[in-house]
Amino acid sequence: MSQETILEVNDLRTSFFVEGNEVKAVDGVTFDVPKGKTLGIVGESGSGKSISALSILQLIDSPGEIVGGEINFKGDNLLKYNDNQMRKIRGNQISMIFQEPMTSLNPVYTVGQQLREALKIHRGLGKEAGTEKAVELLELVGIPSPRSRVTQYPFELSGGMRQRVMIAMALACDPELLVADEPTTALDVTIQAQILELLKELQDEFNMSIIMITHDLGVVAETCDYVAVMYCGKVVEYADVHTLFKNPRHPYTVGLLNSLPRSDMDQEELEPIRGTVPAPHEMPVGCRFAPRCPFATDLCHEKLPELEDVGDEEQVRCWIYTDEWDGDPEVKVYEPEARTAKD
């Protein structure tokens, strides 16, 4: 990798053990987060995005368990840390914001009390200094009249305001990495754009790295530098954002792009990916995408492809890009001209 990376996730595996069965929610996930950049993680619902994110901070609850892999943060494997050491990382060097601003703040404590908490834990700030810093943070995330907000309760704030409070809380201790799990999904479109814009500004200001989890490729295009595409608990493609949109390699990525509405196309021409995500108990043995892939061959159905380097900073998990490919050698996975207006 040509630049400094802050986080390297290697072959991360997180499973849920329910009724004697192992559900491999995250099944060998590998990606890098370059310092000061934004990595997008995209994929359909249930592909393991949230579980990957929660695994980074080790916030997985029973019956879930991280069963393997490495999470190297600035060279240290966090999975070797004990609970005490992890607590010093959480909310300090790595923070997280969640999808649901309405329920992610504690209803019985004021905004100020909740903001001061991380400052007290990680910076030892007392009530007064903490309040000053809290006001500063609220101002930073664009909350009007921040001083009066400190004494308000979450129920007195709108969804967008609460998400700003969440961001302020996450930023309290100047984290080096911010994990944002669908931070705008629950908000309406104009607020969405404002929040994304805010995150971008804050990133530039503090040289913060961000993991942006979303199922919205529009959000990826706007905010990310690199993208990991996830399918059934695995990364199927990793690339920088320009390459991904210009030259997507994995048939699943292509499917996602083709189902993205574009201004120069009619809605009817959208092609959703056929079929549905396989249920955990009927996971294909070969390529997880084979049942839905228009290019699938016998090899695809029988053997699982590895995530292979296909360029400087690009990786893809698909037989087409290997020497073993047994289908049409001339296969064109992505045809940009097919996406242009037809009339």
Partner 1 sequence: MTVYIIRRVLQLIPVLLGVSILVFSLMHLTPGNPAQLMAGESAPPDTIEQIEESLGLNDPLPVQYWDYISGVVQGDLGTSMRYNTPVADEVWPKFVVTLELSIYSTILSIFMGLLAGIISAVRQYSISDITIMIVALFGLSMPNFWLGLMLIQWFAVNLGWFPPTGWEGPGSIVLPVISLGTAGAAIIARMTRSSMLDVISQDYIRTARAKGVKRRVIIYKHALKNALIPVVTVAGLQFGALLAGAVLTESVFAINGMGRLLVDSIIQRDFPVVQACILIIAVVFVLVNLVVDISYKFLNKRIDLND
Ligand X SMILES: Nc1ncnc2c1ncn2[C@@H]1O[C@H](COP(=O)(O)OP(=O)(O)OP(=O)(O)O)[C@@H](O)[C@H]1O
Closest to ligand SF4 by CB, 199 vs 318, is 318
Closest to ligand X by CB, 47 vs 131, is 47
Stretch near ligand X under the rule CB under 6 A, chosen from 42-50, 110-118, 147-155, 291-299: 42-50
- Give the tokens for residue 253: 């990525």
Which of 25, 251, 255, 310 is in the footprint of ligand SF4 by CB under 6 A?
A: 251
Is the distance from CB of 299 to CB of 286 less than 8 angstroms?
Answer: yes
- Please, where are the H alpha helices in the chain? 49-56, 83-89, 111-123, 127-140, 146-149, 159-171, 189-206, 217-223, 241-246, 251-258, 298-302
Distance from C-alpha of 237 to C-alpha of 226, rounded to nearest angstrom = 11
Nearest to 318 by CA among 244, 234, 242, 240: 234
| DSSP structure string for 236-294 | EEEEEHHHHHHS--SHHHHHHHHTS--TTS-GGG--PPSS-PPPGGG--SS-TTGGG-T
Distance from C-alpha of 337 to C-alpha of 343, rounded to nearest angstrom = 12
Partner that binds at residue 81, options partner 1, Mg ion, ligand SF4, none, CB closer than 5 to 8 Å by kind: none
How many separate helices (H) and strands (E) can be counted in the chain?
A: 11, 12
Partner that binds at residue 89, options Mg ion, ligand X, partner 1, none, CB closer than 5 to 8 Å by kind: partner 1
Cα 28 to Cα 46, 74, 201, 231, 247, distances in angstroms:
15, 20, 33, 11, 24
Closest to Mg ion by CB, 14 vs 50, is 50
Partner that binds at residue 280, options Mg ion, ligand X, partner 1, none, CB closer than 5 to 8 Å by kind: ligand X
Question: Which residues, numbered 252-311, are part of the site for ligand SF4 (CB under 6 A)?
Answer: 287, 289-290, 293, 295-296, 300, 305
Closest to Mg ion by CB, 121 vs 277, is 277
Question: Which residues, numbered 40-59, are part of the site for partner 1 (CB under 8 A)?
Answer: 57, 59
Question: Which residues, numbered 69-128, are part of the site for partner 1 (CB under 8 A)?
Answer: 83, 87-92, 95-96, 98, 100, 103-109, 117-118, 121-122
Nearest approach, Cβ of residue 153 and partner 1 (Å): 5
Instruction: Tell me the three state secondary structure of residue 123.
Output: helix
Closest to Mg ion by CB, 50 vs 223, is 50
Strands 177-181 and 94-97: parallel
Nearest approach, Cβ of residue 53 and ligand X (Å): 8
23 part of the interface to ligand X, by CB under 6 A: yes
Partner that binds at residue 50, options Mg ion, ligand SF4, partner 1, none, CB closer than 5 to 8 Å by kind: Mg ion
Q: At what angle do helices 127-140 and 159-171 cross, to 10 degrees?
A: 120
Q: At what angle do helices 159-171 and 111-123 cross, to 10 degrees?
A: 10
Distance from C-alpha of 232 to C-alpha of 49, rounded to nearest angstrom = 10
38 part of the interface to Mg ion, by CB under 5 A: no
Mask for 272-311, x = binds ligand X (CB under 6 A): --------x-------------------------------
Partner that binds at residue 96, options ligand SF4, Mg ion, partner 1, none, CB closer than 5 to 8 Å by kind: partner 1
Partner that binds at residue 48, options ligand SF4, ligand X, partner 1, none, CB closer than 5 to 8 Å by kind: ligand X
Interacting residues with ligand SF4 (CB under 6 A): 250-251, 287, 289-290, 293, 295-296, 300, 305, 318-320
